[in-house]
Structure 1
């Protein structure tokens, strides 16, 4: 399902700033457990490479984990073209023998139920469902792409179409917009990736 009207650059910029804030908040919430650029600057004698990094650029917003066996990057981006506006959540994965089929299966099972659940926190939108804001195809595999790169991290992307009907009301409430994107687009991918990671042989 495509947006009924073109989503303007101001709205896209607001969504992009929300994605930036999500990555920054995530980084700060876990930075105590990793060597970071800030810690190395404060303590020049701290040995070891940076284990946690964040990036904000034209490609989007990313947080990279590289500690022990952990070697992956989560990304968020908003894109717009003639076909509409999309929010993309991604994982750059270097973990060998990762079961992508199981990841897709679990994501499909989650969104099969979650997509029809009503939004939380938006008082004026009590009857609006997640699928009325972020569209996904009936077959989630049509919204997932996997780029396997020899010698580099594989990239798995999950793309949500952004629908415009209720968007003005949603972006008018930045804290709840941030919470909505985190809960619906980020947290499930993060949780399910971790679950599948733990089941690998």
Structure 2
């Protein structure tokens, strides 16, 4: 009975955390630095997106994170979505991080959209080793958008992390801290 109630609570929390909009977040009071990262659900930070090839600033974008699904649940979601998705690497687990973005300002002057997807992000482990996120799975609801000024998008960033350890997502130098719980049912 206790496990059933906890499962119900977990499902309600997840769906409420992932049913927000970027407009539901306030500017974070955290600096978004390595020493003062933005916690999950704390708020958004404005980042300047640079062109991958020229390093020119192309857009000012607000970024917020509402939650993460990790461990057994994330592994099952990834595997069940597409049978060709591989298992996580040895001593790793999948983490599905839900991200919201809003393009505040086109800095090119050309009214160009800005591309936001997994390739804009790095995953950083608790020992501060940084790795660019690569395309490792195919699944719906991944963040993969081209948004014009005033446009919004949301979706999952899928990465691999060490089980039961905190980790960070970094975009253009702004740090977000994510939790260390791999599977909430392991806490029972």
Q: Which has the higher helix share?
A: 1
The structure that has the greater radius of gyration is: 1
TM-score between both structures, scaled by the size of structure 1: 0.33
TM-score between both structures, scaled by the size of structure 2: 0.35
Q: Which has the higher strand share?
A: 2
